[in-house]
């Protein structure tokens, strides 16, 4: 299917439909209406978008072996994990790898990229890595990272995202996480206050 031909047919059908309600008898008005339709003012030009093919970087496991990430990150950040399979090490995009590098050097960074390009991992990996390294020298339970979202829906989806990577540890996860929004009842809030998670959404 030619998408431009399809658009032209759609526009033509819509123009015929909208013009079917009236019969203009005055030639000057007919000419004015015809000119308005032919100018294309009633429908925008076609919008053509291309999904970018993001440049790939190294796997999480490779970064662990190179000494950049804590060893436990190799087990945490895997794709396709299940009860019967450990999954495979995540292959990062180049922009994710660069973001991790900025975070590890203590630099601030802003990552702007399209949907499905792994923005969450670009900050979850360095946060989890930093927590694991910090807990090796000082293990007292406390909140070490607070992640703020503008909407509860985002906090909820990111809670699921973290759970995807840390759920296979059962009750002995090396990094704990919790959500503190208007959705929690008093009991849940008290539980979070008395037993603070490493990551608070």
- Residue 129 confidence (pLDDT): 96
CA-CA-CA-CA dihedral for 65, 59, 138, 155, to nearest 10: 180
CB burial class (10 A; 0-12, 13-18, 19+) of residue 9?
exposed
In this prediction, residue 28 carries a pLDDT of: 93
Q: What is the secondary structure of 8-71 as a DSSP string?
A: HHHHHHHHHHHHTT-----HHHHHHHHHHHHTTTTSPPPP------PPEEEEHHHHHHTTSS-T
Q: Say if residue 26 is in the same domain as residue 113.
A: no
**Domain housing 174:** 56-200
The sign of the dihedral angle between the CA atoms of 38, 44, 50, 51 is: negative
Residue 76 and residue 144 share a domain: yes
pLDDT value at position 59? 95
Taking CA 97 as the corner, what is the angle to CA 92 and CA 102, rounded to the nearest 5 degrees? 160
- Rounded distance, CA 152 to CA 128, Å? 22
How confident is the model at residue 51, as a pLDDT? 72
- Residues 116 and 149 grouped into a single domain: yes
Q: Residue 45: inside a domain, yes or no?
A: no
Same domain, 30 and 60: no
pLDDT at 115: 78
Same domain, 95 and 11: no
Q: Are residue 13 and residue 71 in the same domain, yes or no?
A: no
Q: What is the pTM of this model?
A: 0.72
Number of domains into which the chain is organized: 2
Question: What pLDDT, on the 0 to 100 scale, is given for residue 103?
Answer: 92
Statement to judge: residues 24 and 101 lie in one domain = no
Question: Per the domain annotation, does 147 fall within a domain?
Answer: yes
Which sign, positive or negative, has the C-alpha torsion 62, 66, 68, 70?
positive
**Within a domain: 47:** no
Please, which residues have CB within 8 angstroms of residue 160's CB and are 6 or more apart in sequence? none
Give 92: exposed, middle or buried? Use CB within 10 Å, 0-12, 13-18, 19+. buried
Instruction: Looking at the structure, tell me whether residues 26 and 91 fall in a common domain.
Output: no
Judge whether 141 lies within some domain.
yes
> Do 23 and 65 share a structural domain?
no
What pLDDT is recorded for position 145? 95
Query: Which three-class secondary structure state does DSSP give residue 99?
Result: helix
**CATH code, domain carrying 177:** 3.40.50.300
Residue given tokens 């950040």 in the structure block: 77
Structural domain includes residue 181: yes
For residues 26 and 84, membership in a common domain is answered with: no
Residue 51 is assigned to a structural domain of this protein: no
Distance of CA 30 to the CA centre of its chain: 51
| Cα–Cα distance, 36 to 42 (Å, whole number) | 8
Based on the domain organization, do 88 and 14 belong to the same domain?
A: no
Same domain, 156 and 196: yes
Assess contact for 132 and 199: CB atoms under 8 A: no
| Non-local CB neighbours of 167 within 8 Å, separated by 6+ positions | none
Give domain status of residue 48, yes or no. Answer: no
Domain membership of residue 179 (yes or no) is: yes
Over the chain (201 residues), the average pLDDT of each successive run of 10 is: 85 88 91 88 79 87 94 93 86 94 90 85 94 92 92 90 86 89 88 92 93
């Amino acid at each position: 299917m030619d998408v431009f031909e399809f658009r032209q047919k759609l526009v033509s059908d819509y123009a015929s439909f909208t013009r079917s309600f009236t019969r203009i008898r005055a030639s000057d008005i007919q000419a004015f209406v015809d000119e308005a339709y032919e100018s294309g003012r009633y429908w925008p030009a076609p919008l053509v978008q291309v999904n970018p093919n993001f440049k790939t970087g190294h796997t999480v496991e490779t970064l662990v072996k190179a000494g950049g990430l804590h060893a436990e990150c190799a087990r945490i950040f895997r794709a396709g994990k299940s009860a019967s399979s450990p999954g495979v090490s995540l292959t990062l995009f180049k922009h994710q790898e660069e973001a991790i590098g900025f975070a590890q050097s203590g630099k601030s960074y802003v990552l702007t990229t399209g949907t499905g390009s792994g923005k969450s991992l670009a900050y979850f990996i360095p946060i989890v890595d930093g927590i694991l390294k910090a807990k090796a020298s000082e293990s007292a339970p406390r909140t070490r990272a607070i992640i703020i979202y503008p909407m509860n829906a985002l906090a909820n989806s990111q809670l699921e995202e973290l759970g995807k990577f840390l759920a296979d540890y059962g009750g002995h996860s090396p990094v704990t996480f919790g959500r503190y929004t208007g959705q929690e009842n008093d009991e849940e809030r008290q539980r979070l206050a008395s037993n603070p998670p490493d990551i608070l959404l």
